[in-house]
Amino acid sequence: MADAKVIPFGEEPRARRKARRAGRGGRGTALAPVPEARTEHPPAAPPPPRPRSLDERIAGGLAFLRRRITGDYEVDDFGYDEELTDQVLMSLLRPFAEKYFRVEVKGIENIPADGGALVVANHSGTLPLDGLMLQVAVHDNHPAQRHLRLLAADLVFVLPVINELARKAGHTLACAEDAQRLLERGEIVGVMPEGFKGIGKPFADRYKLQRFGRGGFVSTALKAGVPIVPCSIVGAEEIYPMIGNAKTLARVLGLPYFPITPTFPWLGPLGAVPLPTKWTIQFGEPIPTDGYPPEAADDPMLMFNLTDQVRETIQHTLYKLLVQRRSVFF
């Protein structure tokens, strides 16, 4: 695929990027989406966040507490607890996205304002923090505040506590049935087809996309007729530089890999603190899938071609972002 299709974007001069970063820095505590986009979708957008008085916050907090302790809230078929996610889980993750990793989001307009879409991203970082940051990035930057429904490995749903939180945050098992059901309901579904091969790869292989599974995500998107949005995440590779893999220990613990980084496990829990790298999340132009006939999902050649197209797009965007990056940490 030497002549792979590369979609150009992010070709701004450095001065403008700097100016925008300065503008972002001045944003302060407000988490507001872009204002002009909000006027485009007045019904979907929530009321503009103005600084709430302490009374209002106490009242809001007590109303939330009242609903929680009496069980008066709703979850969907997948166990997704929207209220808990918005009020608690997102608030816990947001400081990481905004202050710690300083996630810069580009091309959010490539995620449709309504209807389903499949966001396909690269996977890295030893622990799946990239998925969580992606979820926060989509929710906080999208004008319609869309929720990203991530597809997670089965290991997530075996582990206690983790499975409970994952389900409540809207994640579900990465299988064709669940993905298709979510897409047909018009949700934004996030998938990282590299799986453990991507997240558990050694530091030397950083930003080299691994095999994209069997490309099942393409046929799922095709069956649901939703666009595929390629997404490239830069910065997650360096949070835990994995210099070794204790395979025997991993096998004993039943894990796909056991990471050894310069700090972990030598410094104990302190070694599990991720490095504060500077992240960029770039959403690429959506690849439409609704133009294919229904039997196209059973055509392996077409699936391979589309998978390669998505993969090449993400890989090229990764290289482009890496060239633009000034430093790993700033």
Partner 1 sequence: MGLILGKVVLVTGVARQLGGRFVRRIQRDPDVDRVIGVDAVAPEHHLGGAEFLRADIRHPAIARVLAETGVDTVIHMDINGTPLGKRGGRTSVKETNVIGTMQLLGACQKAPNVERVVIKSSTSVYGSAPRDPAVFTETTTPKSLPSGGFAKDIVEVEGYVRGFARRRPDVAVCILRFANILGPCADSPLAEYFSLPVLPTVLGYDPRLQFVHEDDALDVLRIAAAAPRRGTLNSGTFNIAGDGVLLLSQTSRRLGRPTLPLFLPTVTWAGTALRSVGITDFSPEQIRLLTHGRVVETTQMRETLGFHPKYTTAEAFAEFARSRGPGLLPPESLARTVDRLAGVLTARRTPAQ
Which residues would be at the binding site for partner 1 (CB under 8 A)? 54-55, 58-59, 62, 65-66, 68-79, 81, 154, 157-164, 167-168, 172-173, 175, 177-178, 181
Strand partners, 282: 106, 232
Q: How far is the CB of 176 from partner 1 (least distance, A)?
A: 8
Min dist. Cβ of residue 74 to partner 1 (A): 7
Q: How far is the CB of 104 from partner 1 (least distance, A)?
A: 33
Question: In terms of C-beta density within 10 A (0-12 exposed, 13-18 middle, 19 or more buried), how is residue 169 classed?
Answer: buried
Would you say 281 and 207 are in contact if contact means Cβ atoms under 8 Å apart?
no
Smallest separation (angstroms) from partner 1 to the CB of 159: 8
Strands 104-106 and 148-152, bridge-based pairing:
unpaired
Strand duo 188-191 + 117-121: pairing? parallel
Peptide bond into 265 cis (omega under 30): yes
Between 217 and 283, CB nearer to partner 1: 217
Instruction: Compare residues 68 and 206 and give the one whose CB is closer to partner 1.
Output: 68
Q: Residue 277 Cβ, how far from partner 1 at the closest point, in Å?
A: 30
Q: How far is the CB of 73 from partner 1 (least distance, A)?
A: 7
Which of 137/191 has CB closer to partner 1? Answer: 191
Least gap, CB of 154 to partner 1 (angstroms): 5
CB 156 within 8 A of CB 86: no
6 versus 162: smaller Cβ distance to partner 1: 162
What is the distance between the terminal CA atoms of the chain, rounded to a whole angstrom? 33
d(CA 241, CA 124): 10
Q: Rounded to the nearest 10 degrees, how much is the dihedral formed by the CA atoms of 32, 35, 41, 42?
A: 80
Least Å distance between CB 180 and partner 1? Answer: 10
Q: CB-wise, 62 or 252, nearer to partner 1?
A: 62
Query: Could you tell me which residues come within 8 angstroms of residue 258 by beta carbon, excluding any fewer than 6 positions away?
Result: 245, 246, 247, 249, 250
Instruction: Please give the angle made by the CA atoms of 195, 196 and 198, to the nearest 5 degrees.
Output: 75
Q: Which CB sits closer to partner 1, 4 or 59?
A: 59
Q: Are 283 and 119 in contact (CB under 8 A)?
A: yes
Distance CA 15, CA 10 (A): 13
Nearer to partner 1, 40 or 184 (CB): 184
Compare residues 178 and 237 and give the one whose CB is closer to partner 1.
Answer: 178
